[in-house]
Structure 1
Amino acid sequence: MASGERSSEKDGRIFAARPPDRGKQRRITDFWGPVINTVPFPVATGIPGSAEMSHPREETTAGRKQSYAAMARRSMPNIDDLPDPIRAGNLTKIMIPQEAYEERLQSFSHALIGRVNFCFVSMDEVRAEAKNVWNLKGKVTLAPLGKGFILLRFEVEGDMAAMWKRGPIKVKGQIMRFQRWRPEFNIHEDPVQTKLVWIRYPELPMEYWHEKILLSMGKASRCPVEVDRRTIQGNMGNYARVLVEVLLSGTRVEEIQVERKQPGKDDLFWFKQRILYEDGIERCTSCKKLRHLAEQCRSKRNTERQPAEEDRRPGGTFQVTKEEGGAPRSEEIPTKSS
């Protein structure tokens, strides 16, 4: 047996150039065994530096391998068919393809804009909340827009409407508000300026309680969302109720004129209808403050009420004004000590 060779005591095979035995340390031959390949490895073409390899996921055309770059180039539109830029002095204009823009708009048909304070909650926590808590029927895609704004695109229209009506919601203790997505939304110029409010049409005759009629009337308040279920069923006859999206600032329409034609005639019939907003943001005509009406104004009641007597204190006095013979007279009456 040549130098450097050692015979195996088990099967008598000879292995060349084996390292010397190191006691209890396992030898490389202890790891030899059959190898079963379940996934084929890429096989190079044999050309040094070549990036082309056979792969089971690659498509083939007429026996020829298609690389990813080739497939990407095939899916791109023809650049020569796109509009060319127009240079007008120092300005360069681009007329974008209208059909491409309208096609992209369709992907935002079930979209909302949300806003949350990212100083206290992360985007991953918002995604986890949407997946585990919102109980959506379809998928939702969330994309941060900056300054706390989030774009939410829902797969199912019902999920979008449900979250819009449910808001504002809490995510990890932080308030998240929603508004409907609209074209040309800009996080620097368009903060959240709208909210959903239920409005009432008090004493509206029930022959007008039709969904199309009420939604048409709701457009006077801005953007109607839905009609109350009890209104459609006619369970409450003293007022009709519609959910609308209104602006947080600006004036609100508080009365409209409803017009229609007489059945079978061209004569015009009209009536005026009041609108009440249920969000509690009413403007007092007395003190000019918000969140209460003039009938609830404390300042107005205090002004109209005559100070007939002062606060009674133990051992003090209060004044009572009396009129005798047309001349007012005041006298002090001591209070009883408790």
Structure 2
Amino acid sequence: MPLVTEEIDDIIVLSDEDKDRIYTSWIFSIIIKLFKKNLAYGYLRTKQLDLWKPSEPLIVVDLGNGYYIAKFTNQENMQRGLHGGPWFITGDFLLVRHWEPNFTPEAAKTTHTAIWVRLPSLPIEFYDKSILESISHKLGTLLKIDTCTPAALRGLYARIYIQVPLDTLVKTYVTMGNHRQNIVYEGEGVLCIRCGKLGDTHKICPTQATTTQNKQDKNGASTSSSAFPHNEWQTINFNKRKTGQKVQQLQKTTADS
């Protein structure tokens, strides 16, 4: 019984007034983490200033485990950091999320990422907000539509910004009526060439994109077939030394007959 009393005595109860006071200064803050690598604090902050160009001094706090908080007092600066991306630093994707109370780096688990998606050669009649929202819902959660897209100012491709679960195989196409629309993901090194998941790379991917099913033919010889149907994952590779943008086919897996 005394043990229970001590445990109760160790609990500090936060009143609504306490919460308002300690939370208010962080409500426009962003938690960030660079995918796959850590950078020196000063270099990361300099790159953030170059990317976000905030209208106020940028305060960056190192939380450990590769996580940082970018603290703003202006909501517009926060919104730009959250929704103006995707952001890349030294070629690696910068994960961003809105600050939340009781966040601890040790317990944090990244489950989603945000990425721009292109719909190349989309028929012009599909440059419609409702249609684009429907496409987005098939791929993930819609965050925004590129400003040029709904006005049909760019006919080469439509562009949408979506949030996608990291542990889910991304789609290679969607079908609208009789039209099959290919999907291209923006960013170098964010899509695994083996499993088709955002966030993995072929060096650290825990999943093989194909598994071998051994079959015995009539002569006793073993044959193999792919466990996955035909897939083509595509991404846009940004090359700083070139003005052009190159679409690369990352993987093509065809089931053996």
The whole-number CA distance in structure 1 between the counterparts of 2:113 and 2:17 is 32
TM normalised by structure 2 equals 0.53
Counterpart of 1:108 (choices 20, 23, 27) is: 27
Q: Quick one: which amino acid aligns to residue 89 of structure 2?
A: I
RMSD of the TM alignment (CA)? 4.9
For 2:77 and 2:254, how far apart are their aligned partners in 1? Answer: 46
- Structure 1 or 2, whichever has the larger Rg, is 1
Other-structure match for 1:278? 185
Q: CA deviation at 1:96?
A: 2.4
After superposition, give the CA deviation of every residue in 1:170-197 in whole Å (9 maximum; x if it has no partner): 3xxx957232134243312324443322
Alignment correspondent of 2:222: none
CA-to-aligned-CA distance 1:26-67 (integer Å, 9 cap, x gap): xxxxxxxxxxxxxxxxxxxxxxxxxxxxxxxxxxxxxxxxxx
In the alignment, which residue of structure 1 is the partner of 2:254? 300
Compared CA separation, residues 234 and 147, structure 1 to 2 (3 A): same
Say if 1:231 and 1:240, in contact at 8 Å, map to a contact too.
yes
Checking the alignment, whether the CA contact within 8 Å between 2:118 and 2:160 is kept in structure 1 is yes
Pick closer, same or farther for the CA change 1:145–1:227 going to 2, 3 Å: same
Task: Report what 2:103 is aligned to.
Answer: 185
Aligned match of 2:38 in 103, 117, 132? 117
Q: What is the correspondence of 1:80-95 to structure 2 with a 5 Å cutoff?
A: 89=5, 91-92=7-8, 93-95=11-13
Unaligned 5+ residue runs, structure 1? 1-86, 259-269, 305-338
Superposition pairs of residues 190-201 of structure 1, within 5 angstroms: 190-200=108-118
1:138 counterpart = 2:45: no
User: Any idea what the Cα deviations from partners look like across 1:275-296, whole Å, max 9, x if unmatched?
Assistant: 835255584787458xx52998
Return the alpha-carbon distance in structure 2 between the equivalents of residues 208 and 241 of structure 1. Answer: 10
CA distance in 2, matches of 1:133, 1:298: 34
Query: 1:204–1:239: 8 Å Cα contact kept in structure 2?
Result: no
- Secondary structure of 1:186's aligned partner: coil
Query: Cα–Cα, structure 1 residues 153 and 257, in superposed 2: closer, same or farther, change >3 Å?
Result: farther
Question: What's the secondary structure of 1:230's corresponding residue?
Answer: coil
User: 2:103 and 2:171 mapped to 1: Cα distance?
Assistant: 25
Work out the CA distance in 2 between the residues paired with 1:150 and 1:137.
20
2:106 is the alignment partner of 1:167:
no
Identity of aligned residues (%): 16
Q: Residues 257 and 145 from structure 1, CA distance in 2 versus in 1: closer, same or farther, beyond 3 angstroms? A: same
Q: Which runs of 5+ in 2 are unaligned?
A: 197-208, 211-224, 234-248
Q: Which letter maps to 1:179? A: V
Match of 1:235 in 2: 153
SS of the equivalent of 1:126 reads: helix
Q: Work out whether residues 115 and 163 of structure 2, in 8 Å CA contact, stay in contact via their aligned partners in 1.
A: yes
Contact 1:204–1:240, Cα closer than 8 Å, also in 2: no
Retained in 2: the 8 A contact 1:201–1:273?
no
Q: Which has the higher contact order (CA 8 A, sep 6+)?
A: 2
Q: Which deviates further from its counterpart, 280-289 or 154-163?
A: 280-289
CA contact (8 A) 2:32 2:96 kept: yes
Distance 1:255 1:125, change over 3 A: closer
Verify the 8 A CA contact 1:114 1:178 in the aligned structure 2: yes
AA of the residue aligned to 1:168: F
TM-score (norm 1): 0.42
Q: How many residues align?
A: 199
